[in-house]
Structure 1
C-alpha cells in the first residue's frame, strides 16, 4: 500500500474511532501531521497505537502515537517547519537536539491528539545502550528536576536504565522511561514507600495489584519545580481479562470503539499517580511489530 493510501486509511480510522468516543476529530490538525510523516506509516515496521486516559485533563481526547524510523531528520525541527507546532525559546525546544548531541537515538515516536494535534516526541535508545540519568541531567536544556532526583533513582536501581525520553511540548514536561526495572520496584510495599517518598497520593488496592504486574515505569519532570510531578506503572497484555483489576467504563468503551490489525491485540495498561490521586490509561496497538518499544 502506498504512503498516501496508508495516510487516508489511518485518518479514516482515527475519525471514526473519535466519533464513536464522542470526540470531535480536527482534520485541520490531524491530516497535515499524517501527511507530513506519511513515510512512517508505509514502512514495513510501522507501529501505530491509540490511547485514552480517565483523568479529567484527558477528557474529550483520543491520542494516537506512531514510530518513525532512523533517518537524519530531527522530527521537532521538521514539525516546526511544517507548521505542526510553534517554535519556542523555552528549553523544551532544544532538548531533543541536546539529546542527539550526547546519545545515539535509535528511533522516535510522535504523539498527537485527534483534537489537540501535535503533542510529544519520544527518543528511544537501543536496549543494549540504556542511558544514565546522571549523564542526561548534564544536558544544558534538561530540567534541573532530573538532577534533583538522581539520589532517588539510584536508591531504586534506576539510574543507568533510561530507555526512552518523551518530550511534551505543550505542557513543557519530560517523561523519563526506565527499562529493565528491578523486580523490587513493583512489590506493593516498595510502591507504597516510593510514592510516600516523592509525595504522591496513597495508592488504591487496585493500583497495587496492577503495579505487581508492571513491566516498567516512568516519571514526569518539569522545569518549574524540583519535584517529580507524576509516576506511572505500566503492564502489557493481549487480554484485558487477565489483568488483576477491573477496567474503567471509559476504557471499556475505548476498547470497543478502536480497531486493531493482526491476529493478537496488544494493550499497555498504566496507572499514573500524582500528589492529588491516580488515574488510568490504556494504549491499544493498531499496528505492532515484535521488539517495538512499550510506553504509555
Structure 2
C-alpha cells in the first residue's frame, strides 16, 4: 500500500484570501478553474516540496491510495480506512478485492470534524481476521530500497504499477465551517447553444449546501466577450442575503451571442462534417461568470 495523491473533492473550490479592510475584498483574485470561489485565508503560498492543504469542517475529502497484491491468489480486504492520529477526522471504511499479481488505486474518504492540524500517517487494514496499521513512510522506504537494489522485489512494479512516485504527506490544516454554494443552470443539461446575434435569458440556481449562512456575495465576469452578458440580476442575489443553509436563489442572466471571428469560423467549418453553415465558438472564447462569497469574517 502506498500513497497516491490528494485530489480535490467536487464540492471543494478555490480558497481566496480575504482582506477585511477592503469592501471589494474579491478584487485581484485571478480565476484558476472552478466556477465558484470560497473566500478564506490560507496563508502565503508554500514553495517547498510539500504541499499545504486546507480542509473545511464538515466537507468531505478524498485521498487516493494504491494497493498491490503480489500473491498468486485473490486478496479480499475486509475494510481499509485512513489512520488519523489527530482525532479531528472521521474516516469511512471500504472493502477492496485484489486479483492475483495486480494493483489498484482506491479512494478513501472522510470528513474533518474539528479545527486544527490533521495527521494521516497511513491506513488501518482489516484482512484475514487481523487488524494492522500500515504507514506510508514504511512503504516509501521499501520502494526506495527496491529502486536502489537493496530490496529483492518491488511489490508494485511486479504487479504492473507505474513508476515509483515520491508523494509526501502534505501539511493539512482544518478551518472552521464555510458556506458552500452549489450552482446549476435551471432546465436543460447545463449547456446553452446560441446562434450569432441571438438573445436568450438563462436562470442560474445558487443553493447554500453548507452549514454557514452566506453573508456576502459578488458576481463578476472574466475572460473574453464579456459584453455578450448583457444583464445580470445583481439585486436578486443581494436581496436574498443572508442565504441560510439549505436556501436557494435563482438569478436571471441575459446572454447575446457574439459574432465569430474569421479564425473561429474557419476552425468550425473544418470540423463540420455535414457541411452545414453552423459555426461554433472555439474553447476559451466564452466569458466566465465568477461568484465570490463569504460568511461572517473570522478574526
Bigger share in strand: 2
| TM-score bucket (shorter structure) | under 0.3
